[in-house]
Amino acid sequence: MDILNRLAAFRAKEEELAWEGTFIDYLELVRKQPTIAESAHSRIFRMIEAAGIHVDDHGHKSYPFFSNEIFGLDLALERLVEEYFHSAAKRLDVRKRILLLMGPVSGGKSTIVTMLKRGLERYSRTPDGALYGIKGCPMHEEPLHLVPMELRPEFEAEFGVRIEGNLCPSCRMKVDIDYGGRIEDIVVERILLSEDDRVGIGTFSPSDPKSQDIADLTGSIDFSTISEYGSESDPRAYRFDGELNKANRGLMEFQEMLKCDEKFLWHLLSLTQEGNFKAGRFALISADEMVIAHTNETEYRAFVSNKRNEALQSRMIVMPIPYNLRVTDEVKIYEKLVQQSDLRDVHIAPHALMTASIFSVLTRLKESKKQGMDLLKKLYLYDGRSVEGFKDKDVEELRAEAPDEGMSGIDPRYVINRISSALIRRDTSCINALDVLRAIKDGLDQHASISKEDRERLLNFIAIARKEYDEMAKKEVQKAFVYSYEESAKTLLDNYLDNVEAYCNWQRIKDPITGEEMDPDEKLMRSIEEQIGISENAKRAFREEILIRISTYARRGKRFDYHSHERLREAIEKKLFADLKDVVKITTSTKTPDSNQLKKINEVSRRLMEEYGYCASCANELLQYTGSLLNR
C-alpha cells in the first residue's frame, strides 16, 4: 500500500532530523549558522519571510505565508508583520509586549494563531529553522545559557551572537551534579517544535477561576518526591510542565486572556518586560517565547476601562483584525469554508457566492461623506474595479475616513450556515444565488438579537445584492447567446479604436473594402460610449484617455486588448448585449418554443455548462429567471 510506504518515508525523515552532540559540537554549529541561536520572535519573523514577501505598485507588502488561509486582510497582516514581528526580530522594545489580536468573531484571529503554530512546527524541521536545546531539559533550554555571565561579552564578540537569559533550575542542577560543572560535556539535541508534544508551543485556556491553579502556567511541586529529595526547592521535586515552561523557545497562545483571573495575568508582567517569570521556590526563570492572545472589541473596551489593568495594558501591542472588505476575497473565504464542510460535494451555481459576498461586505462598510460616493461604489473600489469619477487615491482617502471599517457586520460563518440551510430546505444537489439570498433573509427573521432598524438595513443590502445578481445573470445568458463572443468583441473593439484614433488626431479613416476615405463613425463611437453613461461633453476626454492607455501599454511592450480597460470592456459587452436583447428575451420566455428556438436554448444551456460552470439544473433555472427579467 502506498500509505505504508509514505509512513515509512515519514518516519525515516523524522529520524534524519535527529541530532545529538556535546556543547562543543553545538558551538561549531552556532559558528557556521548563528541563526540557530536566535530569539523566538526572530525565528517567527524569518519563518514568515522565508515564504516570500510581495510588494505591489503602491508599496504595500503581502505575505504568501498567510495566503492559503487568510483572504482580504493584506493591510492588517502587513501592519502585524512589520510593526510587531519585524520590529521584535530586531530586538526592539515591542518584543517585550503581548501581542493581542482584536477583531469581530470569525474574522481570522484564531486562524492566524493556528497558522503561526503549524508554521513553527514545519519550520523547525527545515535547515533554516533548526534549533537546539539541552537534552533532558523540561524547558528545552537554549544551550548558550551555559556560558557564564562573565564570559558572555567575549563570546558575543567572537561569535556575533547575543546571549539573553539564564539556566533554568533543572539545568543548573544538572550541570553541578551530573557533569561536575564541565559545561563542555553537556549533551545537546535538536528540538522539533510540536504543540501536541508540548515542545515550544503552548496553549492556555482559562476555566473556572475557583478550580484553576496557577500551576497550569508555571508548573507545580511533585509532593510524591519531597520525601526523596527533602526540599520543595529542589528542582527534581518540581514539575516544570506549565504552559510558560513548555512554550519556551517558541509561542504561547493565551486564549480568552481578558476573561482570565488577575492572578494569572500578573505572571505576564515580568515575562513580557524582563523575559522571566516566578515559579515555586526558585529564582526568576528565563523564558524566550512570544505570547499571543485574541479577543473581541467589546471585551477589550471593558478591560481597558478597568484602571487595575493599566500595568498589563501598557505591555500589550493591540493589532486590529477586521473583516475582509474585498468581494473577490470574500468569495475565497466561502470557497475555503465550503471545502472544509460537508457541502464540498454540492454544486453551487456561479455567482451564488459572489452575490452572498456582496451582501456580506456591504454590511461591513461605513457610509462616506465623499461627494457622489455610495456603499456599492465603495465596495467595487475596494475590490480593485474601476468606478467612474474616482481613482486609486480615493481608495486611500476612503480608508483614512473610516479607520475602524470592517470591525462590525455579518460574519462569514453566518453565510455558510445559511447556505447549509438552503441546501437542506431544497433537498437538491445544487443551489443558486437566489436560494442563498432567500436563506440569508430567513435567517434574519429568526435572529432575535437583530433590531428592527438593523433588520431594515440588512434587507436593503439583500435587495442591492439581488439587483447586482440580476445584472450578472443577464450578462451571463447574453454572453452565452453570442457566438464566438471574444471574436465579436475584438472586432467591435478594433473598429472603435480605429475611429477613436482618427477622431483624436483629426484624421479620416479608409474603408477596408472600397478604400474610400471617410470621417470617423461618430454614430458607432457614441453607441458604445452611451452604454456606460459617457455624455456628449465627456466623450473627447474618454477617447483621449483610451489613447493614452494604448500609448502606455506600447511603451511597456504590452498589447492593448479587450481586457485592458475595464470601462471600455463593459461598454463593448453592453453594446453586443443590446443588439441581442430581443433575441434572448423571445427565446428564453417562450413557453412552447419551436424547433429553432429549442435548438438555441439547448445550445445556450450547453455553453453555460461547458464554459461557465453551470449544471443542467441551475442552467435551466438561470434561463427561466433571465427570461422573466427581460420581460419586465
pLDDT of residue 216: 84
Percentage of the chain exceeding pLDDT 70: 94
Mean pLDDT, residues 311-335 taken together: 91
Q: Is the pLDDT of residue 59 over 80?
A: yes
How far is residue 264's CA from residue 218's CA, in Å, rounded to a whole number? 10
> How many other C-beta atoms lie within 10 A of the C-beta of residue 507?
12
Q: What is the pLDDT of residues 287-309, one digit of tens each?
A: 999 999 998 888 888 888 888 88
DSSP string, 246-315: HTTTSEEEETTGGGS-HHHHHHHHHHHHHSEE--TTSSPEE---EEEEEE-HHHHHHHHH-GGGHHHHTT
Helices 23-32, 152-159: inter-axial angle, 10-degree rounding: 40
Q: Is the pLDDT of residue 484 over 60?
A: no
> pLDDT-derived band of residue 513, with 50, 70 and 90 as boundaries?
low
> pLDDT-derived band of residue 44, with 50, 70 and 90 as boundaries?
very high
Mean pLDDT, residues 569-583 taken together: 77
pLDDT of residue 224: 79
pLDDT of residue 465: 96
CA atoms in the 13 A half-sphere facing the CB of 365: 28
> pLDDT-derived band of residue 557, with 50, 70 and 90 as boundaries?
confident
Mean pLDDT, residues 85-106 taken together: 90
Mean pLDDT, residues 68-81 taken together: 92
pLDDT of residue 25: 96
Contact residues for 269 (Cβ-Cβ < 8 A; gap 6+): 311, 312, 315
> How many other C-beta atoms lie within 10 A of the C-beta of residue 417?
16
Give the angle 604-605-606 at the CA atoms, nearest 5°.
90
**Which residues make up the CATH 3.40.50.300 domain(s) of the chain?**
33-131+191-320
Q: Taking a C-beta distance cutoff of 8 angstroms, is the pair 492, 528 a contact?
A: yes
Q: What are phi and psi of 101, to 5 degrees?
A: -85, 120
Least confident of 171-180, 381-390, 587-596, 597-606: 587-596
Superfamily of domain 33-131+191-320: P-loop containing nucleotide triphosphate hydrolases (3.40.50.300)
Task: Please state, in angstroms and as integers, the Cα–Cα distance from residue 96 to each residue in 86, 92, 193, 274, following that order.
Answer: 13, 8, 22, 7
Q: Taking a C-beta distance cutoff of 8 angstroms, is the pair 107, 411 a contact?
A: yes
Q: Is the pLDDT of residue 454 over 90?
A: no
* DSSP designation for 54: E
Q: Is the pLDDT of residue 591 over 80?
A: no
How far is residue 7's CA from residue 22's CA, in Å, rounded to a whole number? 31
User: What are the b/e assignments for 204-220, b being 16+ CB within 10 Å?
Assistant: bebeeeeebebebbbbb
Mean pLDDT, residues 550-574 taken together: 85
Tell me which amino acid residue 567 is: R
Mean pLDDT, residues 541-568 taken together: 87
Q: Is the pLDDT of residue 426 over 80?
A: no
Mean pLDDT, residues 583-601 taken together: 70
Residue 330, C-alpha cell as written in the block? 470574500
Task: Please state, in angstroms and as integers, the Cα–Cα distance from residue 171 to each residue in 146, 167, 168, following that order.
Answer: 9, 6, 5
Tell me which amino acid residue 331 is: V
| Residue 536 burial by Cβ neighbours in a 10 Å radius (0-12, 13-18, 19+) | exposed
